[in-house]
Chains A and B, each alone.
Chain A
Amino acid sequence: MTQNPKSKMLEFKNIEKKFSDGSTALSGIDLSISEGEFVVLLGPSGSGKTTFIRTINGIIKPDRGTISIIDEEKFLTDGESLRKQMGVVFQDFNLVENLSCINNVLSGLLFSSNRLLSSLYFFSKKQKLQALECLEQVGILDKAYARVSTLSGGQKQRVGIARAIVKKPKLLLADEPVASLDPVIAHDIMFLLRDLSKKFGITVVCSLHQVDLAFEFADRIVGLSEGKIMINAPTADIRIDEIQTMYKGQIKGLSFGIEQKIEK
């Protein structure tokens, strides 16, 4: 995975974020991520994972620091140009339940479509074929014209991923993409994300609560605690006691699970 030095994709310099109620969500985040890398964010609840991902997609503006994407240094105040490079996957899918899968996937292309025609649900043939291709890649082409509300959670997240990759993004952000799914399907979805990332060279930043999934799929694990980076290393170099320290040793069952995994 790190055979040859890859070009830098994302760089964070000294990101700070305080909320209006005074709580510090991120402090002094320095991090760089290479092109095509699969990075998993771990950390206890409230450690700032969601806030971090939201500063990348521009929903939250950091108080201080810069986020640079592909050499093009920009403050996140300019969400527009960043969003064009970015696909986003959500924990609760955030699909429009009353629309068909293909229309949900097409909504990922709205930014580059004719504003009037796309508001009336008209898309070019090329765009529709692109959407169908993405549904095929996530394995639910046969559901293209089914309403999202008729799908299972796992299928919905597949639509969510199709929507995120339809614009052929350079960067994919996923905040707990499998937290609402059962363990087997969670594994399938992580496998799909990893597969797409490697096939198309998409850089992925994904937050998780499942330490075992992080160890299985991440190239690199970034551990956050109270808004600070505690761990930042290739997955193979991370020791269990580091994870335990980050979670303050509270989740004994989970750390036992990793030991098992690593013994194997």
Chain B
Amino acid sequence: MGLNRRLKNKNLNGTHRLEKYLRPQWGWRTFLSIFGLITVYSLIYFDLEISLGNLLFNSSNYLIDILARMLPPDFSNLNVLLFSMVETVEIAMMGTLFAILLSIPLAIFSAKNLTPNKFVYSTCKTITIFFRALPEFIVAMILVIAIGFGPTPGILALGLHTMGFLAKFYAEAIEHIDPNPLEALKVMGASKRQVFSFGVVPQIMPSFIGNNFYILDRNIRMATMLGIVGAGGIGYELQSSFRMFEYERVSAIIIVIFVTIYIIDYISSAIRSKLL
């Protein structure tokens, strides 16, 4: 008993010694950040003059009114809707292909480990950032003026914008590959192109496929809106129905878009899980 207590005391003294090493689990930085965030958002709330009360009581009446007028969905022109939905998907697919093809060389030249020199690197990087920063709606509006109504400006707008995205994704994937297999290939006498296709390509393939599907998915969603500026697809129907106050048609269009995206999502995740 006495020995046991002595051991216990000794242990207590032992940990006592360590108390000066204790630190609080949450530092002052955390509290400061939380406080700062709350302050910023409170200021934004008052600056934008958002009125929660108005939103809850007055606006909700109008919302319920509109929702009621959207029902029941009017599918009387379903074949027109399906036709333009197919066009929408086609625009997205062409735009995505366009983006993929253009982004591959851009990505190679804007990846730090593959770029031939600084000048090419910064040129490609600038192109990438420029098109990523430029919203496709603006590109589409300009192109509709330049080329005229129809799917072509839509395809180009989506393609150019998402080219910027894909080039960034691929360049990052290329920069993060394991360099050791490349050295092995080089030592065994492979040429530059062979090192690329045997060392680089297989390593970036998962991210390549994944990002392409993500961009296709995103482009289909964006393409549904492009018709609003006259760049083809179901957005045109959506806009004209809104203009004519045909809210039953609007809800029908929303349902068609939802079902299409649901199906595409199902297909693309099935393909992705097979490939990756």
Contacts and interface: CB of A to CB of B under 8 A. Distances in A.
Contacts of A58: 187
Contact of B194 (A95, A97, A98, A119): A119
Interface string B182-205: 011101111101101111001101
Give the interface size class of chain A: 20 to 34
A89 to B, nearest CB: 9
Interface in B145-186: 178, 180-181, 183-185
A94 B190 contact: no
Contacts of A115: 191, 193-194
Contact of A120 (B185, B188, B189, B197): B197
Give the interface size class of chain B: 20 to 34
Contact of B184 (A88, A103, A121): A88
A88 B188 contact: yes
A254 interface: no
Instruction: Tell me the dominant secondary structure on chain B's binding face.
Output: helix
Contact of B183 (A59, A87, A108): A59
Contact of A118 (B181, B183, B184, B194): B194
Interface string B98-131: 0000000000000000000000000000000000
A158 interface: no
A110 B194 contact: yes
Nearest to B186: A59
A99 B206 CA distance: 12
Nearest to B204: A98
Nearest to B194: A110
Given A94-B180, A95-B181, A98-B206, A111 B187 contact: no
A256 to B, nearest CB: 35
Given A90-B180, A115-B193, A119-B193, A96 B198 contact: yes
A52 to B, nearest CB: 15
Given A98-B205, A115-B193, A119-B197, A92 B187 contact: no
Given A115-B194, A119-B193, A120-B197, A96 B188 contact: no
A231 B196 CA distance: 41
Contact of A99 (B178, B187, B196, B198): B198
Given A97-B181, A110-B194, 19 more contacts: A57-B187, A58-B187, A59-B187, A88-B184, A88-B188, A94-B180, A94-B183, A96-B202, A99-B198, A107-B198, A110-B188, A110-B198, A111-B188, A111-B191, A112-B189, A113-B194, A119-B193, A119-B197, A167-B188
Interface of A: 57-59, 80, 83-84, 86-88, 90, 92, 94-99, 103, 107-108, 110-113, 115, 118-121, 163-164, 167
Instruction: In the A-B complex, list the 7 residue pairs whose CB atoms are closest, starting with the nearest.
Output: A111-B189, A94-B184, A98-B202, A110-B190, A83-B189, A119-B197, A94-B180
10 contacts: A83-B188, A86-B187, A95-B184, A107-B185, A107-B190, A110-B185, A110-B191, A112-B189, A115-B191, A164-B188
